[in-house]
Amino acid sequence: MAWVLLFVAGLVEVGWVIGMKYSQGFTRPIPSILTVIGIFASVLLLERAARDLPVATAYAVWGGFGALGTAVMAMILLGEPLGLQRLAGIALIVGGIVTLKMA
């Protein structure tokens, strides 16, 4: 169950990070409120997962999954470029997450 919570925490993290872009510096009320709620929800889910997982592993996977998801969603939603260096970075993140999961 802890891994499921951590996965959901990562999804919520992606949501709030992308939400920061839509909040336009926290000047737009609805995206700003949703972003702040997402921050709290993501950290709460991380905390719950870290009760049963090593905290270093939980935090690294949460951060890695968030970075991976944010990079992909930024390319899809915000039109950020996809290049060889980005793909290599994404591959390294995925490799790190898999390694931590197996450890």
The answer, yes or no, to whether residue 93 has pLDDT greater than 90, is no
Q: How many domains does the chain have?
A: 1
Place of tokens 């996977």: 61
Q: How many CA atoms lie within 13 A of 101 on its CB side?
A: 15
Cβ contacts of 66 within 8 Å, gap of 6 or more: 10, 13, 14, 17, 42
The answer, yes or no, to whether residue 99 has pLDDT greater than 80, is yes
Distance CA 73, CA 41 (A): 19
Quick: pLDDT tens for 53-67: 999 889 988 998 898
Q: Give 31's DSSP letter.
A: H
Mean pLDDT in residue range 36-56? 96
Q: Are 72 and 64 in contact (CB under 8 A)?
A: no
Q: Which domain holds residue 66?
A: 1-102
